[in-house]
């Protein structure tokens, strides 16, 4: 029997020893054959990535603390107890608010501007479609035909069961051809997802914004002038019993502040899952023999070497299919599919769930130097009112008491207030489509065997019935 020419490669579908007259081409381990007109090169990758879409987040709500509200001051005198005079029977009587302080508080909460756009890319996922592993074996030119149990491609519509000793290779049906150190296993094609490849940040520290007035504590604390046994800050009156009144004061940030820095780092999450689509391919039969034999029309390949004598390129001429143009091989389940092509090498994933970011940089707002408010002081016989902070002298005979006692508190400590921008709200990052997801490959040139050369040497210059 004639030998297969040197450098022709075929498929070995098991872990059994490489047959005599053939060597293992380890350059195809973990590589898929990929058709080209000539030459030998590599490309593709067994894993792929997706980029993330730019997105933004709503700003975080935050407030600012203030210093302590120091001892009360009379708006009429500037300091000391707040004194209010009233008149009974042509005599001046008085009462006063005891000197007191309020603890620190906050200016009102506000939501700063959102973060500017940002994205993180996604980590790798498999690019491998469903495949069957073959050891790629290369002829040294000394063997007898195609060795028993080898696999070659077959490009006619009919399964070559009429070719003596040849039949479809069952285990690889519907799978892509992939080289390996040992043949006979299947893998690839499963669903996969992508995790964010790292933390990402956003620009925009929050923009210019203001805060509403905050409110001080409702519990004034000493020291103060008060009736015997009364708590600090109560009222006293030389003639009437005046109620103690706990009260609040407003504290305002008097100007806008611009948050600085970035939204702190956060992870983008994990994409939804999807199944790898097929790269560009051509369907062919995978056929195997039960003993050493020749197969006119059997298809093997070379990778950078010269075309053997009498073998022909599978380029659409000489009765061949055009297997050039960048195609992987997918082994057909039926004759009707042979030479059919397909490609869905792009795919997408659903985006991950929403995520937030911790706040960005700290910033300040100026505060008013004092904070004022009306303290309601009520007598036990309250009727009528007077204007707050502007004591009026009623006529002879007096009036029962019911009025607001107005006073102010200077802010102790800084007149600016610093705070972070608060956490940014939830935002969703999309995932961009991955295109041209090609598994790792080595380029090959598919070639077809002629009629078996005549005994005694030499290949014939004509083709048999399959051509």
Question: Does residue 457 lie within any of the structural domains?
Answer: no
Under the banding of pLDDT at 50, 70 and 90, the label for residue 371 is low
Question: Does residue 460 lie within any of the structural domains?
Answer: no
Q: Is 91 exposed, middle or buried (0-12, 13-18, 19+ CB in 10 A)?
A: exposed
Q: Do 178 and 223 fall into the same domain?
A: no
Instruction: Report pLDDT digits (tens) over 314-349.
Output: 999 999 999 998 999 999 887 678 888 988 888 888
Total count of domains within the chain: 2
Question: Does residue 81 lie within any of the structural domains?
Answer: yes
What does the buried/exposed string (b/e) look like for 220-238 if buried means 16 or more CB atoms within 10 Å of the residue's CB? beeebbbeeeebbbbbbbe
Q: Do 293 and 259 fall into the same domain?
A: no
Which pLDDT value is given to residue 254?
72
DSSP per-residue letters across 210-246? ----EE--S--BS-----TTPPTT-EEESSS-BPP--
Q: Do 47 and 139 fall into the same domain?
A: yes
Q: Do 207 and 296 fall into the same domain?
A: no
Question: Does residue 48 lie within any of the structural domains?
Answer: yes
Q: How big is the CA angle at 340 (ends 339 and 341), to the nearest 5 degrees?
A: 115
Domain ranges, residue 78? 61-119+202-270+363-427
Question: Does residue 3 lie within any of the structural domains?
Answer: no
Question: Does residue 186 lie within any of the structural domains?
Answer: yes
Distance separating alpha carbons of residues 249 and 232, to the nearest angstrom: 17
* 216 DSSP β-pair partners: none
DSSP, collapsed to helix, strand or coil, labels residue 164 as coil
- Pick from 285, 282, 283: nearest CA to 159: 285
Which pLDDT value is given to residue 295?
94
N residues, the chain: 467
Q: Do 287 and 423 fall into the same domain?
A: no
Q: Do 285 and 417 fall into the same domain?
A: no
Instruction: Report pLDDT digits (tens) over 1-53.
Output: 899 999 999 999 999 999 999 999 999 999 999 998 777 899 999 999 988 88
What φ, ψ does residue 366 adopt, rounded to 5°? -70, 145
Q: In 14-103, which ranges are E strands?
A: 22-24, 32-35, 42-43, 47-50, 61-65, 82-88, 91-97
The HSE-up count of residue 220 (CA atoms within 13 Å, CB side) is: 30
Question: Does residue 42 lie within any of the structural domains?
Answer: yes
Q: Do 40 and 183 fall into the same domain?
A: yes
Q: Do 142 and 264 fall into the same domain?
A: no
Does residue 412 carry a pLDDT above 60?
A: yes
Minimum mean pLDDT range among 50-64, 91-105, 452-466: 452-466
420: Cβ contacts below 8 Å, ≥ 6 apart: 62, 359, 360, 361, 362
Does residue 65 carry a pLDDT above 50?
A: yes
Q: Do 108 and 18 fall into the same domain?
A: no
Distance separating alpha carbons of residues 264 and 60, to the nearest angstrom: 12
Q: Do 133 and 43 fall into the same domain?
A: yes
Which pLDDT value is given to residue 99?
67
Which pLDDT value is given to residue 90?
43
Which pLDDT value is given to residue 430?
83
Q: Do 233 and 323 fall into the same domain?
A: no
Question: Does residue 65 lie within any of the structural domains?
Answer: yes
Distance separating alpha carbons of residues 436 and 32, to the nearest angstrom: 15
pTM exceeds cut of 0.85 = no
Instruction: Report pLDDT digits (tens) over 81-117.
Output: 555 444 444 444 445 556 677 777 788 888 777 777 7
Distance separating alpha carbons of residues 373 and 75, to the nearest angstrom: 11
Q: Do 24 and 152 fall into the same domain?
A: yes
Q: For the chain, first and last CA: distance in Å?
A: 21
């Amino acid at each position: 029997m004639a030998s297969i020419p040197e450098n022709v490669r075929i498929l070995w579908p098991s872990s059994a020893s490489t047959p005599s007259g053939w060597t293992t081409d380890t350059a195809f381990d973990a590589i898929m054959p990929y058709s080209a007109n000539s030459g030998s090169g590599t490309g593709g990758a067994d894993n792929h990535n997706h980029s993330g879409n730019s997105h933004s987040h709503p700003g975080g709500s935050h407030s600012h603390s203030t210093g302590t509200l120091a001892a009360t001051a009379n708006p009429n005198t500037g300091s000391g107890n707040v004194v209010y005079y009233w008149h009974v029977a042509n005599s001046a009587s008085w009462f006063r608010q005891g000197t007191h302080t309020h603890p620190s508080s906050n200016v009102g909460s506000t939501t700063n501007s959102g973060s500017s756009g940002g994205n993180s890319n996604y980590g790798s996922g498999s690019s491998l479609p469903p495949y069957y592993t073959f050891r790629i074996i290369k002829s040294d030119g000394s063997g007898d035909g195609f060795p028993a149990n080898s696999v070659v491609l077959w490009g006619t519509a009919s399964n070559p069961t009429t070719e003596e000793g040849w039949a479809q290779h069952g285990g690889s049906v519907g799978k892509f051809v992939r080289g390996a150190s040992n043949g006979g296993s299947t893998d690839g094609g499963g669903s996969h997802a992508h995790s964010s490849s790292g933390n990402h940040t956003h620009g925009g520290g929050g923009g210019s914004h203001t805060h509403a007035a905050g409110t001080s504590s409702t519990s004034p604390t000493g020291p103060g002038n008060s009736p015997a046994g009364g708590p600090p800050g109560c009222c006293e009156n030389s003639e009437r019993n005046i109620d103690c009144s706990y009260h609040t004061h407003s504290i305002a940030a008097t100007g806008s502040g611009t948050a600085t820095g970035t939204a702190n780092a956060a992870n983008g999450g994990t994409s939804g899952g999807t199944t790898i689509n097929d790269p560009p391919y051509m369907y062919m039969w995978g056929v195997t023999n039960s003993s050493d034999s020749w197969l006119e029309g059997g298809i093997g390949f070379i990778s950078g070497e010269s075309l053997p004598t009498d073998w022909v390129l599978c380029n659409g001429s000489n009765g061949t299919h055009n297997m050039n143009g960048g195609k992987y091989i997918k082994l057909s389940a039926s004759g009707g599919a042979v030479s059919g092509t397909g490609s869905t090498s792009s795919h997408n994933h659903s985006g991950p769930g929403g995520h937030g970011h911790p706040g960005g940089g700290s910033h300040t707002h100026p505060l008013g130097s004092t904070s004022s408010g009306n303290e309601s002081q009520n007598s036990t016989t309250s009727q009528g009112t007077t204007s707050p902070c502007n004591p009026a002298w009623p006529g002879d005979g007096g009036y029962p008491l019911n009025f607001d006692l107005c006073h102010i508190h200077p802010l102790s400590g800084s007149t600016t207030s610093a705070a972070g921008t608060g956490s940014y709200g939830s935002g969703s990052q999309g995932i961009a489509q991955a295109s041209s997801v090609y598994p790792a490959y080595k380029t090959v040139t598919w070639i077809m065997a002629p009629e078996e050369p005549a005994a005694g040497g030499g290949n014939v210059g004509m083709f048999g019935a399959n051509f």
